[in-house]
A = this chain, B = another copy of it.
Amino acid sequence: MSVSIKDIARAAGVSPSTVSRALNDHPRISQATKARIRQLAQELGYTPSLPARSLVTRHTATIGMVITTAADPFLARLVQGVEETAEKNGYSVFMSSSYRNAERELEVVRAFHERRASGVIITGSQIDDGYLQLSSQFPLPIVLINCRAYPYSVYVDKLSGARQAVEHLVQLGHRRIAFIGGPHGHRSNLDRFAGYRQILEENNISQNDSLIFTGEGTIESGIQAARHMLTIPQPPTAFFCFNDLTAIGVIRALQQAGAEVPRDCSVVGFDDLEMASHYCPSITTVRQPTHRLGQRAISILLELIQGNSNLQPERLPAELIVRESTGPVSEAGLKPYA
């Protein structure tokens, strides 16, 4: 249907190869012919067919990106970081969502490979280093974000982020600090928990299992966590949450129970969503360098595409952002319901 190089050739009275060369600015085509052909291409509304071209050049100039879901605030600057560098190197970036579903994730990677994408960047992978086994099925470069078990990856040092967050609470005088975790077994959750435990230990605070809660990283599960913590005999004076959504849920539930944050209880989130700085109270949180994360991911992928496979997981630092949701431990604190 679309107009092809042959149509232009016919209209210009030259061969298809001349048209191709003219459009690619080949030195051995006369200026006159180039001008004429370009004019014609313009008039006929010609757009080259990348599939056809890629067949011979073996290059699609396409990067696939697997995201969890289109509305994840974590993606905003990350995708931007990827796109900026990709564009500079002549690649286009296309996204497709996995919904954190392993089957679907593989389906998406397969879709990219079928289209012969030059490489793939994956966030929130459910497969993780399983890709090492799948390399014959997916013989294209893959870079993972926040999976340090896979050799081609960038990850944020969440252990250090968690340490900073909990240390901040300890320095404010808190000793009964709840840990509201995320989906069970996830590495990023383990890192946060490890940081939490390390700081408690370093400060000779004994770990109290009733202060550990396994959530899902949603507002809803934050609400549940806080409500649960209000039922135990000695409620915590501070919450260290898996992410900002959880923190929002916690704050919400505490406020509904009549408590004030941070007067009666401190809350720390993780991620630094845009919302975190605008919530009421604004939320103390751990920021991941998402833009840089994207930049590094695409850089590693480009290296991989160029054949350099001598790479290691790259670590990026996390940063504590102190805002209004944390304050000195209070004497009153939370009153348990019952």
Tell me the A residues contacting B by CB distance below 8 Å.
1-2, 45, 47-52, 54-55, 58, 60, 62, 64, 67, 69-76, 78-79, 83, 92-97, 110-111, 113-116, 136-139, 219, 248-249, 251-252, 255, 274-275, 278-280
Contact = CB atoms under 8 A, between A and B. Distances in A.
Contacts of A279: 279
Given A45-B139, A49-B116, A114-B50, A58 B278 contact: no
Contact of A93 (B2, B96, B278): B96
A96 B97 contact: no
Given A1-B58, A70-B70, A93-B96, A110 B47 contact: yes
Contacts of A251: 280
B116 A50 contact: yes
Given A73-B71, A92-B96, A95-B70, A278 B116 contact: no
A111 to B, nearest CB: 5
Task: Kindly report how many copies of this chain are found in the complex they form together.
Answer: 2
A156 to B, nearest CB: 17
Contact of A111 (B79, B92, B110): B92
A51 B55 contact: yes
A60 B67 contact: no
Given A1-B139, A45-B139, 14 more contacts: A45-B137, A50-B114, A51-B54, A51-B55, A51-B115, A52-B55, A62-B115, A69-B79, A70-B70, A92-B96, A94-B96, A115-B115, A219-B274, A248-B275
Contact of A49 (B71, B93, B114): B114
Give chain A's interface secondary structure class.
mixed
Contact of A71 (B60, B76, B110): B76
A94 B114 CA distance: 13
B60 A70 contact: no
Nearest to A60: B51
A137 to B, nearest CB: 5
Given A60-B51, A95-B94, A280-B252, A75 B71 contact: yes
A294 to B, nearest CB: 10
16 contacts: A47-B113, A49-B55, A50-B51, A51-B115, A55-B55, A64-B94, A67-B70, A70-B70, A71-B79, A73-B73, A94-B94, A115-B115, A248-B278, A255-B280, A275-B275, A279-B279
A65 B136 CA distance: 30
